[in-house]
Structure 1
Amino acid sequence: MTSPASSKRPLWTVVAVLLLGAAALWGASRFVWFAELTDGGVRGMILQTQTGAQRSAALLPLAVLAVAGVAGMVATGGWARRVLGIVMSVAGLAACWVAIDGVRFSGFPAGAPVWQIFTGRGLALLGGILVVLGGLIAIKHASAMPRLGARYAAPSVKKTARDPDTELWEALSEGEDPTRDS
C-alpha cells in the first residue's frame, strides 16, 4: 500500500514541471529572437529586432495553457487527467517546434544580440520539454494521483467475510428462521 505522501508526489511533480515550463515559455517570449539590418533611407542601415512574442504569437498562449493545465491536473482525475496529459504533451511539442523553427547559426548582422536569440530559443525549447514531461507524467500516474474533492467522496462498499454465527443472529433479529431450508 502506498502512503498518502507518496501518492501526492506525482501530482506535485506535474504541477512543478508545468509551472516551470510555463515560466520558461513566458521568459522566452521576452528575449530577442530575430535581428536583421534594414535600409532606413537617410538614417542608413538600421538593426530591426523582434522578441519571441512578436516573432511567434504562440509562445504566450502556450504558457497560459500550461498554467491552466496545472489547475486541470489538480481538479480532475482518471481518464480526464489522461486526456489533459495528452493535451499538455501536444502543447509541449508545439512549443518545441516553435523554438526550433527558423533557427539559424550564422549570418547574423553586426551588433545583433546573438546571445539573446539563442537564450530565448533555448528557453522555449526547455519550456516545451518541461510541458511534454509534465503531460507524460500525468498520463502515467493519472489514477494514482489524488484529485480535488476525493477526500469527501463516499467510500466504496467492501464486502467482508462475515462470521456465520453473526449471520444467524442477524437473521433472527430480522424475524427470519435461519434453520428453515428454503
Structure 2
Amino acid sequence: MSEVPAGRPRQRRPLWIVVLSLLLGSAALWGSSQLVWDTSADRRGDEVLPSLVPLALLCLAAIAAVVALSGWARRVLGAVVVAAGGTAVFLGVTASGALPGRGLAWLGGFLVLGAGVLLVVRGGAMPRLGGGYQTPGAAKRSTDPERELWNALERGDDPTDRD
C-alpha cells in the first residue's frame, strides 16, 4: 500500500477554501443586490450600488481562473480579487440603505477579500487543474523499472515484447 505524501492534502485544502469563498462571496454580493435597501423608495441593492452584480460576476469568473492558472499568474489574480473584495467591503460600509443589504455586501466582500489574500500568499503552492497529467510526448522516463512497466501498460504497449 503506497502512502500519500503528508503535504499533499494540505496543498489542496487552500484551493478549495479559495473556490468556496469566492462562490459564497459571489452569492452574497448577488443576494445583496436583490434585497430592498431603501424601503421608502422601494429601491433594490443593484439600484443603490450598480457595481454589486459586476463584482459578483467577477468572483464567478475568478473561480475558473483560479483552477486554470498557476504560479505568478495566480498571484496576480489574487491581487485583483483582493481589490474586488476591498471594493465590496468599502461599498457595504459606506453605502446608505438597510443594514441587511449592506451587511450581506460586507460579508460577501470579506469572503472575497479573504480568498484574494490566500491566493496572493499561497497561490503559487496550490495545485492546478490537470497539473498531474502530461501529454504522452511530454512524459518523462521514470527511473523506476517497475513504474516504467505500468506506464507501458497504460499506453497500451506490450512490455514483454522485446522486438
1:147 and 1:57 map into 2 onto residues whose CA distance is 33
> Which amino acid is the alignment partner of residue 131 of structure 1?
V
TM-score normalised over the length of structure 2: 0.76
Quote the offset at 1:102 in angstroms.
Answer: 3.3
Greater fraction helix? 2
Match of 1:146 among 124, 127, 146: 127
**Percentage of matched positions with identical amino acids:** 44
Do the aligned partners of 2:95 and 2:102 also contact (CA within 8 Å) in 1?
no
Matched, 1:92 2:96: no
TM-score normalised over the length of structure 1: 0.68
Matched, 1:63 2:56: yes
> Which amino acid is the alignment partner of residue 11 of structure 1?
L
2:71 and 2:125 map into 1 onto residues whose CA distance is 9
Greater CA radius of gyration, 1 or 2?
Answer: 1
Quote the offset at 1:33 in angstroms.
Answer: 1.3
Q: Which has the higher contact order (CA 8 A, sep 6+)?
A: 1
Do the aligned partners of 2:14 and 2:118 also contact (CA within 8 Å) in 1?
yes
- Other-structure match for 2:159: none
Change (3 A) 1:155 1:86: farther
Q: Structure 1, unaligned stretches of length 5 or more?
A: 37-47, 105-116, 158-182
2:140 and 2:113 map into 1 onto residues whose CA distance is 34
Secondary structure of 2:125's aligned partner = coil
1:66 and 1:79 map into 2 onto residues whose CA distance is 19
Greater fraction strand? 1
- Other-structure match for 2:30: 26
Q: Structure 2, unaligned stretches of length 5 or more?
A: 142-163
- C-alpha RMSD over aligned residues: 2.2
Write out the 4+ residue segments of structure 1 that deviate beyond 6 Å after TM superposition: none
> Which amino acid is the alignment partner of residue 20 of structure 2?
A
